[in-house]
Amino acid sequence: MSVHDALETLVREARERLSRTQDGKTVVTVQVSHCSMSVGAGEVAEALAAALPDDASMVTAGCDGACFDAPQVLVTTASGERHRYVRVSPESARDIAAQVASGSLSETARKSGFHSGQRRITLDGCGELDCEVIDSYLDHGGYLGLANALAMTPDELIEVVKQSGLRGRGGAYFPAALKWQGARSVKVEPRYLVVNSEEGEPGVFKDRHLMEGVPHRLLEGAIIAAYASGVERAYIYINAEANLSADRMQRAVEEAYEHGLLGEKILASGYSLEVEIMRGAGGYVCGEETTLLNTMEGYRREPRLRPPFPTEQGLWAKPTVINNAETLCSLPYILSNGAKAYAEVGTDDATGTKIISLSGSVRRPGVAEVPMGTSLRQIIFDIGGGLPDGRELAAIAVGGPSSGIFPASEIDTPIKPGFLHESGVMLGAGGVIVLDDRTGVLDSIRGLADYNAKESCGKCTPCREGTPRMVDLLDKLKAGHSTEKDVAELRELAKVVNAASLCGLGQAAGNPILSALHFFSDEFS
């Protein structure tokens, strides 16, 4: 039996199960996620489960990214009509159940500008597919990319991903295929794959949406990367507070074992892989890959000296590939549709899409997936709906605490890997926080600097001593007691911390200050 024959059998069985549970029925999909649970999605799901008639089928999905409309309920009738209900309460959920029972649904399917301005690859089906049962993912084309990958040699697979131009999406944007090739070239076994889903920085919440909404896509991507890298054991490292993400990923792993997608001879191939969920140790610095490895081994959460790099000596001194969750979720599309299809999205030197975590003073906060090269203006105004009435754009914090702040005049800057401006503003993991005229730039910079100081692991002197000193100087400036000498010290200290720190946290801790000094020099006088 070929890998495609094995997959075809799984898909046929999944469709038969779906047919038994959903054919001829109205399907009610409730979006339950980390964000929507905070506004009552769990209670909405309970109310619907209790009130829906027997001829309706209820499905749990993740959030589709429109967090501003949560909780959302999608109703699909037996005839295929779609109805969308937003900001649902337990009371209105019971009304929806009554409408389902009577066949008189009031809302119609709609897509706001938030959805229409996106290009969804990693988030495809998020908010619509059942996130707790594998069947709807298989019915949606899931694991076809894995079957195609297993039909190739690892070298052929690596070449396909090279041609796609896929870079890591965790912040460093290193070419994914080169990392796999590097680990594979080290003739030491065993090799390991670690999926970095720590995502501890403020203003970034994309990986949780992926794990909660399309957990099998992440798992499929991880298996593809492990096969390419010559790995037989993988770990999915999930933030210590992301309990819903961990629960859904654990269920996906169990289902994959049950259906022959993990374990021995995956999809009747000669390839075998074991996967285990691990929880993060807490703290922003755990997102740095060598710190992550230390915590997995039971050591302090602090970085290692490099070289050697993890692809040479990583987990337990063995070759280790560390990929971000968003990176891996791009692989099923590439292997299902071809490298060219992916490379045609984005720009010539930055292919594919990027998930943006949009928050702050914006009408439609949430998670949006856009092609590389999309401008901040398109993200904030076309997708995010702009600022609330009466508010004016003052600044844009991009990339989290390791990046910086743009003034409103830079709103047409396109997103791309690495630095968006020489002052230190970079895309990073893709957080975009909109600041209006009520928010002081110095307050924002001070908040970012204080966060970096508190999250420093303390291992290296520049970061341990330099980051709190920068906070002290900002406090002096805010109080109106600073001198030109203090501002000069702040500038020089930010440069020194960036240049001399051991890991990525310290090496970017000065960026918020340097960008503010560049764009908002009047605030420092």
What would the pLDDT profile of 184-200 be if each residue is shown by its tens digit?
Answer: 999 999 999 999 999 98
pLDDT at residue 211, rounded to an integer: 98
pLDDT of 106 strictly over 90: no
Q: By the 8 A CB rule, do 84 and 109 touch? A: yes
What's the rounded Cα separation, in Å, for the pair 54 and 101? Answer: 9
468, with CB counted inside 10 A (0-12, 13-18, 19+), is: middle
Question: Which residue ranges make up each domain of the chain?
Answer: 3-116, 141-343, 350-436, 441-524
The arrangement of secondary structure in 441-524, i.e. its CATH architecture, is Up-down Bundle (1.20)
Using 50, 70 and 90 to split pLDDT, how confident is the model at 201?
A: confident
pLDDT of 15 strictly over 90: yes
What fold is seen in the domain 3-116? Glutaredoxin (3.40.30)
Query: What's 259-276 look like in SS3?
Result: CCCCECCHHHCCCCEEEE
Say which amino acid occupies 59.
V
Tokens, residue 505: 């946290």
pLDDT of 108 strictly over 80: no
pLDDT at residue 110, rounded to an integer: 62
pLDDT of 111 strictly over 70: no
Between helix 206-213 and helix 325-337 the angle, nearest 10°, is 60
Tell me the average pLDDT across 297-321.
Answer: 95
Can you name the residues that pair with 350 across neighbouring β-strands?
A: 347
CATH classification number, 350-436, choose in 3.10.20.600, 1.10.1200.10, 3.90.78.10, 1.10.10.10: 3.10.20.600
* pLDDT tens readout for residues 342-390: 999 999 999 999 999 999 999 999 999 999 999 999 999 999 999 999 9
103, with CB counted inside 10 A (0-12, 13-18, 19+), is: exposed
Note the pTM of the prediction, 2 decimals: 0.96
pLDDT of 205 strictly over 90: yes
Question: Which has the minimum average pLDDT: 196-200, 228-232, 332-336?
Answer: 196-200
| CATH no., domain 141-343 | 3.40.50.11540
Tokens, residue 136: 């709807």
